Amino acid sequence: MDIRQALVDAVRRADRAGANALLEEWEREHGHARLLGEVLEPTLRAIGEEWSTADTFTVAQVYVAAKVAGDALQRIAERAPRSAAPASRGAVIIGNVEEDFHSLGRRLLGTFLSTEGWSVRDLGNDVPAGTFVDEALAAGARVIGVSAMMLTTARNIARVREEIDRRGLRGRLQLAVGGAVFLVRPGLVEEVGGDGTASNALGAAELFERLWARSLAAEGA
Ligand code: B12
């Protein structure tokens, strides 16, 4: 069985339960760790491509795809081996940048960071630049993680960069950026003023740790 094709077919039928059953069966055979890279990400990318070019998916079907991916990724997060991290590594802020409503990747990011011991404050979708910085200061966070899935919205991250710099917090507040558009646009991290990125939630904990250390070093702490 071609799992990706079977998943696309279930999504077309808006069959969330059927899609989940297929994925759980695949996970039992191949392990949940491979699901993200080998099944979910390529299938969502393919659905996104077809949606934008051939218009053969409706928004409702794409929503179903996101729900199914969210269900599966939640299972992956629950089963991921916990690191030997201390109970709390500190507070971090995450959110989708202004005008971006692609919540799935961000929620995953939050789940994985929490698993690794970070105390995550998730501000949700469509977060104004100033709010990221206000909340980081209120929580004592050293890293802000901003998610954007589209080129247009990714460019709004530059406003978060400006807000950090305007308040004299460059170095003290580190700006992590991510979302699928960063994978296909080399140079975008630098263009929007990001301090670092990770291609998926599995790599985010290491990134946040590195940026946290950089913030401490910048303050001479
Ligand atoms: C599902 C989906 C939707 C759903 C979102 C549902 C939800 N609750 O999230 C809905 C239907 C709402 C939607 C709407 C739209 N979408 Co849409 N969508 C997608 C789709 C198919 C999958 C996205 C997804 O969930 N991926 C799975 C998650 C797990 O992956 P992820 O987000 O990349 O996150 C991972 C990593 O990137 C990383 N990560 C994410 N954030 C961060 C942050 C940090 C700090 C770090 C370190 C890492 C990190 O970790 C995550 C987990 O591993 C993509 C196609 C694609 N190529 O991805 C299009 C896509 C992103 N959408 C697109 C478009 C155009 C739109 C709309 C404008 C369509 C329209 N005309 O209305 C609207 C815009 C809404 C808005 N303003 O935000 C385009 C963007 C084109 C571009 N590059 O500019 C894409 C690429 C489709 C396409 N090929 O055209 N969409």
CATH 1.10.1240.10 intervals, the chain? 3-79
Cβ neighbours of residue 213 closer than 8 Å, sequence gap 6 or more: none
Kindly indicate whether the domain formed by 90-219 is annotated with CATH number 3.30.1540.10.
no
Q: CA-to-CA distance for 87 and 64, rounded, in angstroms?
A: 35
CATH 3.40.50.280 segments of the chain: 90-219
pLDDT digits (tens, 9 = 90+) for 16-45: 999 999 999 999 899 877 888 899 888 998
**Mean pLDDT, to the nearest integer, of 175-195?**
95
pLDDT band at residue 106 using 50, 70 and 90 as cut-offs = very high
Closest protein CA for atom 86 of ligand 1? 48
**Residue 81: exposed, middle, or buried by beta-carbon count in 10 A (0-12, 13-18, 19+)?**
exposed
pLDDT at 111: 86
**Tens digits of residue pLDDT in 85-96:** 556 789 999 999
| Average pLDDT value for the chain | 91
How far does the centroid of ligand 1 lie from the alpha carbon of residue 86, in Å?
A: 32
pLDDT tens digits, one per residue of 111-141: 889 888 899 999 999 999 999 999 999 999 9
CA 84 to centroid of ligand 1, rounded, Å: 32
Q: How confident is the model at residue 155 (pLDDT cuts 50, 70, 90)?
A: very high
Which homologous superfamily is 3-79 in?
Methionine synthase domain (1.10.1240.10)
* pLDDT for 56: 85
What was the pLDDT predicted at 108?
Answer: 86
Q: How far is the CA of 12 from the centre of ligand 1 (A)?
A: 18
